Structure 1
């Protein structure tokens, strides 16, 4: 247990430049508190102490603003930054070295029984306000942009943005093969802005053609009037 706690603390230092000391991390990081509460609640949940496990998770939610169902399976090195409004469902599975920002939901899409929440691979970054909804897999080394809504499986080594989520970077193009924690979730492609830019360029070209045609028509009209005179 002490070894796992050390790994959780190290994850904070690796991914948050604001962390100054171990004491600060232990006392002031609700993401770490929520994970430690979850470790206890999950152990009780596996032993079928369901009510006690749920009670601990609710205490954790009250104290941290982070709701993690005790049935969720979480790997090592999870870092929940700020954490307010994070919700992780019962059958969600999270791999190692995952980073989650505030307002993220790993949820289901209906009332079906069994596996109904996503499986998150290793080294995944899920940015602020993103929603990953449904029983599917998000592959290793995936980055999900802020405010995105992901409703279907994402292959490894991809970047997803938008509503619904669309893959904008795929393995072999801009994502390297070696994993380096990349937390710059403010620098993601914006396919909507790109499309609007393309539309504006097309409009500019059409306006120029219309202007050219108007000038040509005016010239021909002047020639015709001159010939009539």
Structure 2
């Protein structure tokens, strides 16, 4: 109900004011932005959010086919797929959004940042609420996969390439596959997290094979010595 109440408040804000607000977010987060004219015409993440609002309006009126058609047009034009049923708050910033997927029952709060290749999807097992809830001020980095009816807390950060299957607390940073909390409220959680020391199965197998080769060479050398001794008799 929290997100539905916020959605109603958002819809009461003027359309042009909302569009201006969306463009202001781009200037705040992207140093490459130079003018409102450039941002208005060339930022696909911005266009995707605007198209979604139109699709979502039809979706709420139970005009599902029109809503889905608009969302597919949105996907074709921007490379960003947002289901028309998803609930999105104010000031969402999708940066370099190609490949972003946002599922039907997603709920996204205010001031959220999403980078390219992010998936806010389901696991294929749930019914009803089956996609993530992302709270205010969260950041989801490049290529992260957030799956299932889980919650990404306020001001949380999901690291690039992470796969998140469990709730993330407020003000936490999560990384890895599967995702693990490494910081919360700016303090390190796991002091022994050394990514350069993670197991490498390929290297381990190569070392095992090299060991077998060395043992075979030693056995061959020993057999050669035995053969030479017999020939000298």
Asked if Structure 1 and Structure 2 have the same fold, meaning a TM-score greater than 0.5 normalized by the shorter chain, the answer is yes
Q: Which runs of 5+ in 2 are unaligned?
A: 1-14, 200-233
Match of 1:133 among 119, 122, 147: 147
Aligned residues: 184
What is the match of residue 116 of structure 2? Answer: 102
State the TM-score, normalizing by the size of structure 2: 0.75
What is the match of residue 31 of structure 2? Answer: 17
What is the match of residue 213 of structure 1? Answer: none
Does residue 191 in structure 1 map to residue 205 in structure 2?
A: no
What is the match of residue 44 of structure 2? Answer: 30
Q: CA deviation at 1:23?
A: 0.6
Q: Which runs of 5+ in 1 are unaligned?
A: 175-188, 198-229
What is the match of residue 212 of structure 2? Answer: none
Q: CA deviation at 1:113?
A: 2.0
Does residue 150 in structure 1 map to residue 164 in structure 2?
A: yes
Question: For 2:90 and 2:25, how far apart are their aligned partners in 1?
Answer: 9
What is the match of residue 83 of structure 1? Answer: 97
Q: CA deviation at 1:170?
A: 1.1
Question: For 1:191 and 1:128, how far apart are their aligned partners in 2?
Answer: 21
The answer to whether the 8 A contact 1:38-1:68 is kept is yes
Question: For 1:9 and 1:172, how far apart are their aligned partners in 2?
Answer: 30
The answer to whether the 8 A contact 1:19-1:25 is kept is yes
Q: CA deviation at 1:196?
A: 4.5
Question: For 2:185 and 2:23, how far apart are their aligned partners in 1?
Answer: 31
Q: CA RMSD for the aligned pairs?
A: 1.9
Change over 3 Å in CA distance of 1:165–1:117 after alignment to 2: same
Question: For 2:48 and 2:106, how far apart are their aligned partners in 1?
Answer: 16
Secondary structure (helix, strand or coil) at the match of 2:51 reads: helix
Change over 3 Å in CA distance of 1:48–1:16 after alignment to 2: same
Match of 1:65 among 69, 79, 82: 79
Q: CA deviation at 1:123?
A: 0.5
Question: For 1:2 and 1:93, how far apart are their aligned partners in 2?
Answer: 23
Q: CA deviation at 1:173?
A: 2.0
